[in-house]
Structure 1
Amino acid sequence: MCQSVTKNPVMLHGADYNPEQWAHDPQIFEEDLRLMKQAKVNVMSVGIFSWAKLEPTEGVFDFEWLDEVINRLYDNGVSVFLATPTGARPTWMSEKYPEVLRVNEHRKRNLHGMRHNHCYTSPVYREKTTIMNTKLAERYSNHPAVLGWHISNEYGGDCHCDYCQQAFREWVEEKYRTLDQLNEAWWTTFWSHTYTSFTQVESPAPHGEEFVHGQNLDWKRFVTDQTLDFYRHEVKPLKAKNPDIPVTANFMELFDGLNYDRFKDDLDIVSWDSYPTWHGAKDDLTVASYTAMNHDWFRSLKDGKPFLLMESTPSLTNWQDISKLKKPGMHHLSSLQAVAHGSDSVQYFQWRKSRGSSEKFHGAVVDHVGHEHTRVFKEVTEVGHSLEALKEVVGTRIHAKVALIFDTENRWAINDSQGPRNIGVHYEETVLEHYRALHALGINVDVISEERDLSPYTLVVAPMLYMVRSGVGEKIEDYVRKGGTFVSTYWSGIVNETDLTHLGGFPGPLRTTLGIWSEEIDALSDGEYNAATTLVGNALALNGTYRIKELCDLAHTETAATLMTYDQDFYQGYPALTVNTLGEGQAYYQAARFELRFQQDFYRSLIDRLNITPAFSGELPEGVQVSKRESNEAAYIFVMNFNPTAVTVRLDQAYVELLTDETVTDNLNLAPFGVAVLKQEK
């Protein structure tokens, strides 16, 4: 199917399938097989949350029903991602082995229920997982239907049980080696919290310690490492039987509970679950930019290799504050947006709506009515036809000359900090504004952590790089000296990897690169604004006054040149935008949170100066976004209209439009929420 899974290059189209919910009526399975053909479906994810069906009582296994499902699907042209069922344990296990259930931060053990309500450290849960996954591997690892292993489902959460406390202590001792190093890293002399034994270390708790920021960071790192260790434990028996079957674990939208960057080398394929809130409180263009940034974040984990959209909804969800239907055309558009940003699949949760329980009103391909005569089914079928038309796009890559640093550990530290704005410094929104300005120009962007290699990029943007870990400042300085262009902002270079402030003046390890010294930072209330005005003849040829909110850095230029200054308050005349030339490169510093209009003007000027080629050379109407995938022979430009009205895009040359197989010249007419894929021969 998709080139990253098999050698047969076909876009994957499918869904989570839970036939065990309908085992009482075999005719439903027969009807599903008929409907799958109509919807142009070629893959299903099966076995998710099936543990109770596969092992109804301890040590008694039933795989015959799964044999039938996989065999019949394959006979009807549908392959499978076979899941390990560890996302939820059966009731008999919770009853007999209560230690498998998680203990919350209040040190109280949970009752049976929910998903991922199990301890990744529990010896019993690990033993039962090994038994189950070994049996799955022995039975299915050579089955031709199995494209890959779907490991568990949406890993997340933590456990504070005795097993996890001991594992955390061992993790901390291995990291710091001595108590002196631990106490210095966590700055425990504050409030007389000095540790005199590693046995005193425990996880943060609301009725105990949760104000030692280094400890909070290390707990989150431990949770990531422990989850990754459990993932490796799950994969081991699968790879032992057949190492050639790829493995994936479906990630979640802008999730901060785990550092996904730590998983990238263990995953054969990155996949994620996308559920944007279209047509809601935020305009669709903002939602489109946010979703595009997520796609680029997950694609960038594997250095630009295609990823898989493992879950999406063909209509609505049941868990968002307001669960709105997708307007006509939006499902097709949002599905192809994933492909535009590097996905080789479009898959849904789920195929057929559940009759009961918490997700019975969550969107699905087959509604409760049970037939194909629905708007949603017709739109899913349209996606299936479009994916067939995009066969030659499978396996193609996105080449980005711009990187945006969005770092999970930096995010943890910023959001745990006390001051300067405890009502929110809005790291995520700020990163999105920089991304949105670049994306609106048709620029392909990689979204990476601060530890990644910077050398492939002409421009690296790092908004609010609050935590600069060891070696990162030196790497950025070397990148600029060798000719790179770097953009950073206020609230950067403040702390190290254990959340200790850098001494000697902010922005710490970035001070030489940026050529400024930050003396103070002012926090503005919601609804309070300052402004900054460009200096005449500034290097970017910017012209005008722009509004500023939330945070204003009071910085002094050292080797940097001032491009803009503040208009108001006691720091009127202080630099608001600077540029520093260092070696062969330059570093820009935005001293305050500017409005989106400024970011659009700033990056337009900077992209022009750097001669970075956009994905599309024509002028894009407001609300139209583009992304480009490339092979050695051709480029594929996705032109996407996120407006509820039709638009016309002026073309710079003739293209073949793959979805219609027609040649388009001069003007490209896009319907409301319309999309076109333009092929450009190299």
Structure 2
Amino acid sequence: MTTKFAPISDKLTVLMHGADYNPDQWLHDPKVLEEDIRLMKLAGCNVMAVGIFSWAAFEPTEGNFTFEWMDKVLDSFAANGIYAWLATPSGARPAWMSAKYPEVLRTEANRVRNLHGMRHNHCNTSPVYREKTAIINGKLAERYGNHPAVLGWHISNEFGGDCHCDYCQEAFRQWLQKKYGSLDALNSAWWTTFWAHTYTDWSQVESPAPHGENMVHGHNLDWRRFVTDQTVDFCRHEIESVRGVNPSLPATTNMHMIEGLDYRKFAEVLDVISWDAYPTWHEQVDDSQLGASVAFYHDLYRSLKHKPFLLMESTPSLTNWQPVSKLKQPGMHQLSSLQAIAHGSDSVQYFQWRKSRGSSEKFHGAVVDHVGHEHTRVFQDVATLGQTMKDISDVVGTVTPSQTAILFDWDNRWAIKDSQGPRNMGIKYEETVYAHHRALWEQGVATDIIGSEQDFAGYKLIVAPMLYLCREETGRKLEQFVEQGGTLVATYWSGVVDEHDLCHLGGFPGPLRKTLGIWAEEIEGLYDHDRNGVALAEGNALGLQGEFESGEICELIHAEAAEVLGTYTGSFYAGRPALTLNRFGQGRAYHMATRLKDDFLGAFYKRIVDEAGVARAIDTELPAGVTAQVRTDGETEFVFLMNFSGAEQQVELDARGYRDMESGEPAEQSVALPVNGIRLLTRQA
């Protein structure tokens, strides 16, 4: 197994620390650039993302290009040891383009074309837009592809949304023809005999619309897949337009909105994964639930390519677009930033470097406030982190070894949220996934977030919460995984439909029925005030005792080959199986038939981790709200102890000979963690 990757750029072999920088907003005051360079060095920042929304500054009128201002920025960077992720500016087109070529503007699902404005208000299919992006990108590549300050390409910005124009309708039909080959195959996959919606000509097929077709679930699912493929194709088009001059420059795009796009498809065209994280810290005194959910996304983005990623955007203080904009309390900037590095990031970068003077993000947090100097609390937090990152740059390129994985498929997520029943007031798919991940996070168990198409080899434990959309192939892979000695944990609402959102026939959980050893006959959605529970059987294989409350979803199952570990305590199905274990081949497959709370999940996964032989970051009992994560180069292990509990904590280390990561001095056996505290340690692998 690879234990260390080469740095993302051989120009900058330490941890990247920087921000989105918008010097085109300050061209009226040349002194700003000079002052910004001074402040960047003072803050320990070594990289900036530049040019993200600069199309109008680069091309103020069609065919009239003005690059001199960027020449000065990049030359100043090079002279001062600062590097740049140079962006392609396609995220926001100039007004002249919208006026002259209205076809580039996005058409909404209601079939009305948007006016000029906002971001990503463009059509990824439009030939004109593709032509114009290729021109501006090509000129940027020609001018800066070999500039000493440029270390990579930042492709556009936070791709998202869809377009329903005539170009996209035709592209969707072509995508469907390639996928299905015939209308008969499409009608079968979409079950269009329902409501007499059978298509007899390809021209009749359109994208889902609020005033048209939107209740055919296979149709909705394929539209989302098409939008992902079309967006990835546009991203590929952008990469190809900059790659020719210097193929060695890596390309990334910053991901943020997981709702609409399957980011695993982007991993195929990008050299490095990057994402933007904006948690709402301090909603509660205890930040552990939020800390765990942020860790889930770090794990997700790391797992897209199973190599170090970049935290491309975060806020050094607050946002201005969340319901409440709270300041980071003392210690949280260091803790939340180093959490990203603990989970596999080789950078901490911010939006934004200098606060805008006007428009919608003028009150969004920044390293440099409107006051314009370094004598602020936020600047000092950033500078302190910059020094820490300089001291721990040995972690660059190291891996995050994991023996555990959670299955998280985008099309499963889309299908669950589109399904009607059993609980339309909130099926809570994401919350369920977070809860299972959090039970592992609390133990310091490293967890990959993988797709069903990825390789299961090398994992000891796979958790598949609510695997509603389960392909036959996925069922076979999980069966083989368990048969060969792996441990699988599955839940209610699994194995229900195939890749077309058609129900499996012959009994749920479909392709998982043999592996789990159960038949799920019915499923009941409960109201929020309803309660049920699970009573664990005496002497059960897990050695757990007592009763645990459950709610929201209760599946009525029959234990076919499985043994019953726990039964329902309430309703007419009291006494029926609620928790089962199937010993299958050399492995084990567990099934939870109802939604159980954190108290059960915590106790359950402690036993499962021990039983499966999964390694924890530290062989000790971690206090509630404290977690640990490990990165390694194969010789040294870098251990991050993190306290999200909102209270002071004490951690007793195991006897593996720890040292302080920054000083190299031996660490004490009992580590004190203040509120929002983090401790960086090393030990031999």
What's the TM-score bracket when you normalise by the shorter of the two chains? over 0.9
SS in 2 for 1:115: coil
Partners of 1:9 and 1:392 within 8 A in 2:
no
**Residue matched to 1:306:** 308
Partners of 2:275 and 2:301 within 8 A in 1:
yes
**Residue matched to 1:635:** 637
Task: Say if 2:184 is the partner of 1:177.
Answer: no
Q: How does 1:284-299 map to 2 (within 5 A)?
A: 284-299=287-302
**Residue matched to 2:121:** 117
SS in 2 for 1:338: helix
**Residue matched to 2:492:** 490
SS in 1 for 2:244: helix
**Residue matched to 1:587:** 589
SS in 2 for 1:456: coil
**Residue matched to 2:603:** 601
**Residue matched to 2:250:** 246
SS in 2 for 1:604: helix
Comparing 236-245 with 125-134, which one deviates more in the overlay?
A: 236-245
How far did 1:8 drift? 4.8
Q: How does 1:295-374 map to 2 (within 5 A)?
A: 295-303=298-306, 305-374=307-376
Looking at structure 1, the residues matched to 669 and 398 of structure 2 have their Cα atoms a distance apart, in angstroms, of 26
**Residue matched to 2:142:** 138
Looking at structure 1, the residues matched to 10 and 432 of structure 2 have their Cα atoms a distance apart, in angstroms, of 39
How far did 1:470 drift? 3.9
**Residue matched to 1:462:** 464
Aligned with 1:618 (options 613, 617, 620): 620
Deviations 1:54-86 (CA, angstroms, capped at 9, x unpaired): 000000101111011011012111000000000
How far did 1:7 drift? 6.4
Return closer, same or farther for 1:594/1:439 CA change in 2, 3 Å cut-off. Answer: same
Q: How does 1:435-446 map to 2 (within 5 A)?
A: 435-446=437-448
How far did 1:618 drift? 1.8
**Residue matched to 1:665:** 668
Deviations 1:486-537 (CA, angstroms, capped at 9, x unpaired): 1100000000011000000000000001000000001100121100110011
How far did 1:652 drift? 1.9
SS in 1 for 2:651: strand
How far did 1:107 drift? 0.3
Aligned residues: 680
**Residue matched to 2:541:** 539
Q: Among the aligned pairs, what percent are the same residue?
A: 58
Matching residue's letter, 1:203: S
Return closer, same or farther for 1:572/1:282 CA change in 2, 3 Å cut-off. Answer: farther
Partners of 1:494 and 1:507 within 8 A in 2:
yes
Partners of 2:403 and 2:459 within 8 A in 1:
yes
Looking at structure 1, the residues matched to 465 and 279 of structure 2 have their Cα atoms a distance apart, in angstroms, of 24
Looking at structure 1, the residues matched to 636 and 406 of structure 2 have their Cα atoms a distance apart, in angstroms, of 26
Looking at structure 1, the residues matched to 486 and 628 of structure 2 have their Cα atoms a distance apart, in angstroms, of 25
In structure 1, the gaps of 5 or more residues are none
Looking at structure 1, the residues matched to 194 and 170 of structure 2 have their Cα atoms a distance apart, in angstroms, of 25
Looking at structure 1, the residues matched to 365 and 591 of structure 2 have their Cα atoms a distance apart, in angstroms, of 45
**Residue matched to 2:504:** 502
**Residue matched to 1:98:** 102
How high is the TM-score relative to the length of structure 2?
0.98
Matching residue's letter, 2:356: S
Matching residue's letter, 2:250: P
Looking at structure 1, the residues matched to 506 and 290 of structure 2 have their Cα atoms a distance apart, in angstroms, of 41
Task: Say if 2:435 is the partner of 1:433.
Answer: yes
Comparing 319-328 with 606-615, which one deviates more in the overlay?
A: 606-615
Q: How does 1:215-230 map to 2 (within 5 A)?
A: 215-230=219-234
Aligned with 1:196 (options 171, 194, 200): 200
Partners of 1:137 and 1:238 within 8 A in 2:
yes
Matching residue's letter, 1:290: S
Looking at structure 1, the residues matched to 365 and 472 of structure 2 have their Cα atoms a distance apart, in angstroms, of 46
Looking at structure 1, the residues matched to 647 and 547 of structure 2 have their Cα atoms a distance apart, in angstroms, of 32
How far did 1:659 drift? 3.2
How far did 1:272 drift? 0.2
Aligned with 1:43 (options 38, 47, 50): 47
How far did 1:2 drift? 8.0
Partners of 1:532 and 1:545 within 8 A in 2:
yes
In structure 2, the gaps of 5 or more residues are none
Partners of 2:281 and 2:287 within 8 A in 1:
yes
Matching residue's letter, 1:607: V
SS in 2 for 1:553: strand
How far did 1:665 drift? 2.1
Matching residue's letter, 1:677: L
Partners of 2:556 and 2:593 within 8 A in 1:
yes
Task: Say if 2:650 is the partner of 1:680.
Answer: no
**Residue matched to 1:89:** 93
Task: Say if 2:13 is the partner of 1:9.
Answer: yes
Matching residue's letter, 2:355: K
Aligned with 2:658 (options 650, 655, 659): 655
Partners of 2:105 and 2:114 within 8 A in 1:
yes
Question: Considering only aligned residues, what root-mean-square deviation do their CA atoms show, in Å?
Answer: 1.1
How far did 1:644 drift? 3.0
SS in 2 for 1:13: strand
Partners of 2:125 and 2:167 within 8 A in 1:
yes
Partners of 1:9 and 1:395 within 8 A in 2:
no
How far did 1:152 drift? 0.1
Deviations 1:225-256 (CA, angstroms, capped at 9, x unpaired): 00001001101121222211100010115x12
Deviations 1:368-414 (CA, angstroms, capped at 9, x unpaired): 00000000000000110010011111111001000011111100000
Deviations 1:61-116 (CA, angstroms, capped at 9, x unpaired): 01111011011012111000000000000000000000000000100000000000
Return closer, same or farther for 1:571/1:340 CA change in 2, 3 Å cut-off. Answer: same
Deviations 1:336-388 (CA, angstroms, capped at 9, x unpaired): 00000000000000000000000000000000000000000000001100100
Partners of 1:2 and 1:345 within 8 A in 2:
no
Matching residue's letter, 1:332: Q
Comparing 318-327 with 4-13, which one deviates more in the overlay?
A: 4-13
Comparing 612-621 with 639-648, which one deviates more in the overlay?
A: 639-648
Partners of 2:460 and 2:613 within 8 A in 1:
no
Return closer, same or farther for 1:2/1:50 CA change in 2, 3 Å cut-off. Answer: farther
Task: Say if 2:267 is the partner of 1:258.
Answer: no
**Residue matched to 2:63:** 59
Comparing 656-665 with 154-163, which one deviates more in the overlay?
A: 656-665
Deviations 1:429-475 (CA, angstroms, capped at 9, x unpaired): 00000000011111000011121111110000000000012411111
Task: Say if 2:218 is the partner of 1:214.
Answer: yes
How far did 1:650 drift? 1.1
Looking at structure 2, the residues matched to 187 and 283 of structure 1 have their Cα atoms a distance apart, in angstroms, of 48
**Residue matched to 1:424:** 426
**Residue matched to 1:79:** 83
Deviations 1:166-193 (CA, angstroms, capped at 9, x unpaired): 1001111111111111001000000000
Partners of 1:354 and 1:360 within 8 A in 2:
yes
Looking at structure 2, the residues matched to 121 and 281 of structure 1 have their Cα atoms a distance apart, in angstroms, of 44
SS in 2 for 1:662: coil
Looking at structure 2, the residues matched to 54 and 663 of structure 1 have their Cα atoms a distance apart, in angstroms, of 54
Looking at structure 2, the residues matched to 124 and 407 of structure 1 have their Cα atoms a distance apart, in angstroms, of 34
**Residue matched to 2:564:** 562
SS in 1 for 2:650: strand
**Residue matched to 1:471:** 473
SS in 2 for 1:547: strand
Return closer, same or farther for 1:2/1:13 CA change in 2, 3 Å cut-off. Answer: farther
Deviations 1:239-291 (CA, angstroms, capped at 9, x unpaired): 222211100010115x1210001111211000000000000158411110000
SS in 1 for 2:496: coil
Matching residue's letter, 2:459: Y
Looking at structure 2, the residues matched to 261 and 649 of structure 1 have their Cα atoms a distance apart, in angstroms, of 37
Looking at structure 2, the residues matched to 482 and 611 of structure 1 have their Cα atoms a distance apart, in angstroms, of 15
Looking at structure 1, the residues matched to 285 and 509 of structure 2 have their Cα atoms a distance apart, in angstroms, of 34
**Residue matched to 2:27:** 23
Looking at structure 1, the residues matched to 663 and 379 of structure 2 have their Cα atoms a distance apart, in angstroms, of 21
Partners of 1:2 and 1:344 within 8 A in 2:
no
Partners of 2:264 and 2:304 within 8 A in 1:
yes
How far did 1:300 drift? 0.3
How high is the TM-score relative to the length of structure 1?
0.99
Matching residue's letter, 2:319: T
Partners of 1:473 and 1:510 within 8 A in 2:
yes
